[in-house]
Amino acid sequence: MTAENRSMKRYSVFALAREALNWHMGWEKAWVSPAPKKAYDAIIVGAGGHGLATAYYLGKNHGITNVAVIEKGWLGGGNTGRNTTIIRSNYLQDPSAAIYEKARSLYETLSQELNYNVMFSPRGLLMLGQTHHEVRGYLRTVHANTLQGVQTEWISPQKVKELVPIINIDGPRYPILGALYQARGGTARHDAVAWGYARACSAMGMDIIQNCEVKGVTSENGHVTGIETTKGYIGAKKVGFVVAGHSGQLAEMAGFRLPIEAVALQAMVSEPIKPCMDVVVMANTVHGYMSQSDKGEMVIGGGTDGFNNYTQRGSWHHIEETLRALIETFPMISRLKMLRQWGGIVDMTGDRSPLISKTPLGNCFINCGWGTGGFKAIPGSGWAMAELMAKGEPGPLAAEFDMWRFKEGRFIDESVAAGVAH
């Protein structure tokens, strides 16, 4: 069965001029929303960044286009729309550095590739060293990154002050002793990443089916045969669960248990102000991180709750803790009003690294467990998951991230390497 080819008009300055003369009435829908077919070669559950990227690379790298992406809510409405949009790849462990750097490098040209402006802004990212232990840890990361081919460097407090004039480097509790600096780290427009991938998937003939919740997983002789949904039964030769938060529920439907717990992580933005900080700053000792959006809002990441939670709102006291930390680091924000606060449900694994894995059910694959830092990984994650689903075996990027590593003690221990802000 081959999928129809839905060619899309190219976005360009000429298209913009043409449409300007036409009262902008000629723009076509970025993606079509068809009713599900009876069966597909592959079904991806979850139309967030990771799911759509998986579908995109299934088509682009492996020629599999008879694909449906099923979404319980609306496209990109989960953690893809709830994160702080930070992109970096300065990880300590080799498997993490490889997949996050793959993702970061794909982000560099993603707008051109998708013909959709994802507003990737490699503005530079600093992780502050505020204790001697932290400095030692980050120096180790810099050396590891050098070996891994990830461009990072250790910079002095004076250089930090040059890059971030609003920072207080002589804090009374935790003076800034330097920073791990990734010059090509930065941010991107989170919604646009999902929308761009969705548009490209739709153009390849894939079906993106929103408001369609998975209710069950069917199998025969240990192999998946399809899914029961609120829009009826859909058959599939292969199924990939690419979800956050509810990965455990899906795994239960498929008859296995994941080494994952779901907790709420929250973030907030301030009222918009004039440009004052053109890099991303992460202060892991006091626990807060901040960047400035193109609209001028200060985008602030908070902490996770310590207990299982599916409510997409975090505990109130984390707001105070996060702002207290950031006011200490950036005294000028003390009078800023916070505009919005929200939460998302993140999947936490025992080693704080993701699962990109085969499962006990044949032809059923899972990509989850990105914890508090999945946005940055979207292109690399999709690339690795598509390879796993197409070939049935993981490629080099996904090889270490299987779900059996906990039984075998092969942890990818980034909870130690990356500190709390992932």
Running DSSP on this structure, what letter comes out for residue 245? S
Of 66 and 79, CB closest to other proteins: 79
Of 33 and 308, CB closest to other proteins: 308
Phi, psi of 157 (to 5 degrees): -60, -35
* Residues of this chain that bind other proteins (CB under 8 A): 246, 248-249, 257-262, 305-311, 315-317, 349-350, 406-408
Contact 332, 311 (CB under 8 A): no
Residue 178 Cα distances to 144, 293, 301, angstroms: 18, 24, 21
**154 sits in which H/E element:** strand 153-155
Of 84 and 353, CB closest to other proteins: 353
Closest approach of other proteins to the CB of residue 248, in Å: 4
Taking each helix axis from N to C end, the angle separating 94-108 and 378-391, rounded to the nearest 10 degrees, works out to 110
Of 166 and 262, CB closest to other proteins: 262
Closest approach of other proteins to the CB of residue 259, in Å: 4
Closest approach of other proteins to the CB of residue 316, in Å: 5
Closest approach of other proteins to the CB of residue 246, in Å: 7
Closest approach of other proteins to the CB of residue 124, in Å: 36
Of 323 and 386, CB closest to other proteins: 323
Closest approach of other proteins to the CB of residue 100, in Å: 23
Closest approach of other proteins to the CB of residue 1, in Å: 35
Of 11 and 256, CB closest to other proteins: 256
The pair of structure tokens assigned to 267 is 């973030």
Beta-bridge mates of residue 267: 301, 342
The pair of structure tokens assigned to 343 is 């939460």
The one-letter amino acid code at 72 reads K
Cα distance between residue 286 and residue 301, in whole Å: 12
The C-alpha angle 415, 420, 422, rounded to 5 degrees, equals 80
Of 297 and 305, CB closest to other proteins: 305
Contact 121, 188 (CB under 8 A): yes
The pair of structure tokens assigned to 120 is 């990737």
Strands 178-182 and 338-349: unpaired
